[in-house]
A and B are shown apart, each in its own frame.
Chain A
Amino acid sequence: MRLLNRIFSEEYPFVLSCPALLWQFVFLYIPFAILAIHSIVDYIPEIQSYVLTSVYYVQIFNSLYFKVILRSFFLAVLTAFICFLIAYPVAYYLAMRGPKKYKTFLLFSLILPSWTSLIVQVYAWFFLLEKNGFVSRTLQALKIISPSFHLLNNYFSILLGMVSCYLPFMILPIYAVLEKMDKRLLEASADLGADKYETFKRIVFPLSLPGVYAGVLLVFIPSFGEFAIPTLLGGSKYIFWGNVIVDKFLRSRDWRSGAALVIIGIMLPIFIMLVGYLVSKIRTAYQRAAYQQKTNGPKDYWT
């Protein structure tokens, strides 16, 4: 009993996180390290030894594969951006304006689709958009599209599937932040002369940014590696990062260039985020320095 008490007391939070850390270490970090080693080490039969090599990376940068990674990256950015545009007003309405009575129900009905398998959701779109599907027929009947126009197998249908599948992951974190927000801050802002637009711009939006960041990450990361949606809704027209990886590992069994492909794909967003972080750091430091220089300077400088 005393041991249990000690473990669950606040002195030993580390002990409690051990199972999760161990799990992550064994089933995520070790396989990932193996993958990374695979991508830079090659076995040469002639000399019967392992050598370090960058040949797989060079191969990828010189091939179409790098373009595929960039295309995936762009699709993920676009998905996250569209999700953000749609999710923010929804989350805002639910958190700030929504009728209190139906709030739980509305939230529930938003999350409900994501309880079903992704494949089922995508197939639902598939049947809606296909040539004899409900949407196509309706649009044809309304003479909005010609009978020869395909709603399926294009960039639009891929994007539609992506956005609809990942939308809840954007709405929830934004909703959580907005719901938690201290409403007195909005009153204080109005009291200080800000109308609704100014209050949104200066208070609500900046304070909801953590939720937006969380949502962007939650949408961006899975959609970057997504391969089921492009395959089902995009036909064979568009190849993405996920498709190439599946192909490398499962079909052509080219594990080493597959591994290199994975590493590059993971490094790209990390690299971009790092650059963004550094730029913002430098900017604030610069602004602060400029401000201090101004206030410490001779008083008549600004009066």
Chain B
Amino acid sequence: MKFIRLEKVSKSYDGEVILDNLSLEINTGQFFALLGPSGCGKTTILRLLAGLESVDSGKIYLGDEDITNVPIYQRKIKTVFQQYALFPHLTVFDNVAYSLRIKKLSRDMIKSKVLDALKMVRLSGFDMKYPRNLSGGQQQRVALARALISQPEVLLLDEPLAALDLKLKEDMLIELSELQDKLQTTFVYVTHDQFEALTVSQRMAIMNEQGDIEQMGTPKEIYEFPVSRFVANFVGSTNIIEGKLHIAQNSYNVEVEGLGLFSVYTPVEKFWMIPGCRLFISIRPEKILISKKPKEGFANHLMGRVVDIIYYGRSTQYRVRLKNGQFLLVFEQNEEHFPQESIDFDEDVHLYFQKENVVLLEH
């Protein structure tokens, strides 16, 4: 199987190090997302893959072929640019036909391919329009058709949906993953929006501000089992609590100052998990049950007072102050039209969560 591999790649601009000894492997035929905060170097990775920039050191492979020094116009990697970069003086047809004209294909061949490509992105009948007369979503599709028409091995997407409104964004995300499913081309999708990355990708990598990859895995792995405080915080929202680890007869407990002991669970033992070490625990807000009445069957129980309520429609977010002064976020699904108990400001509440839902993170 072919894959894209970056090997110990370094890159700096004007003396500022963006990527330092970065290695990354992306399997082909996948929808791969690179998620990271702005300025973390994810766009630089894309530009290196596309050939828009050259590496300072390190190698880039596409399959077994070393493409580190292959010029951009000979790579079988195409890009959908952030602001689409459609050619304003060319019609939609000519924009899409661009790479075929460069290859000097016959007129009839070009025509049939372009019309097929436009059909694929649902833009039939738009061929004689100019980009300036298209909406953002339509321009986006032209850029897709233009990049995909030469059947590249890899398609790079640089924050392609950043300029679209939320509803259109959701539609395009579905369309993109359907397209990838159909073509089986490798899509590498760069974004700072965790929602986009979680929605479309089969695998994703999380980069931190220093330009290092913190974690790679399926969206579910990354959301449920973040390996670091950064990942837990960056993907979704979470509650981070600092504590001290106690291990007794294979059961793990975390002692938190002012709150007592929590019983926790870890599927894998890490080297740093030694009795008495400081650590963080992360609990997702939706994995905490909030109630005014006491409940049974939970490993962990806390008391607190509601200080803030935000109604989101499908869920409600509560901010609860605990005994030790720390705040905890809790999501509650709005399941009923007429809730049996309604929780209000300044009310005392019970909070419950299972020990399996706690993630242990290195200090």
Contact = CB atoms under 8 A, between A and B. Distances in A.
Asked if chains A and B come from one complex, the reply is yes
A202 B103 CA distance: 13
Interface in A147-204: 182, 184-185, 187-195, 198, 202-203
Interface stretch (B75-83, B233-241, B352-360): B75-83
B102 A184 contact: no
A19 interface: no
Nearest to A303: B112
Contacts of B127: 295
B102 A193 contact: yes
B72 A190 contact: yes
Contacts of A184: 81, 83, 85
Interface string A289-303: 001101100000011
Contacts of A194: 73, 98-99, 102
Nearest to B103: A193
B81 A192 contact: no
B102 A198 contact: yes
Interface string B110-130: 011001000000000001100
Nearest to B146: A192
Interface string B336-361: 00000000000000000000000000
A207 B85 CA distance: 13
A207 B52 contact: no
A280 to B, nearest CB: 14
Given A188-B87, A203-B87, A193 B81 contact: no
A187 B99 contact: no
Interface string B82-113: 01011111000000001101110000100110
B82 to A, nearest CB: 8
Contacts of B102: 192-194, 198
Q: Give the size range of A's interface with the partner.
A: 20 to 34
A191 B128 contact: no
B89 A191 contact: no
Interface in A252-303: 288, 291-292, 294-295, 302-303
A191 B86 CA distance: 12
Q: Give the size range of B's interface with the partner.
A: 20 to 34
A7 B81 CA distance: 43
Given A184-B83, A194-B102, A288-B128, A206 B72 contact: no
Contact of B73 (A182, A195, A203, A295): A195
A222 to B, nearest CB: 29
B50 interface: yes
A119 B112 CA distance: 61
B85 A185 contact: yes
A210 to B, nearest CB: 10
B150 interface: yes
Contacts of B74: 193
B108 A193 contact: no
A191 B112 contact: no
A124 B147 CA distance: 56
Given A184-B83, A206-B89, A189 B108 contact: no
Contacts of A303: 108, 112
A288 B93 CA distance: 12
Given A184-B83, A190-B52, A302 B98 contact: no
B73 A193 contact: yes
A232 to B, nearest CB: 42
B88 A207 contact: yes
Interface string B239-281: 0000000000000000000000000000000000000000000
Contacts of B71: 195
A44 to B, nearest CB: 57
Interface of A: 182, 184-185, 187-195, 198, 202-203, 206-207, 288, 291-292, 294-295, 302-303
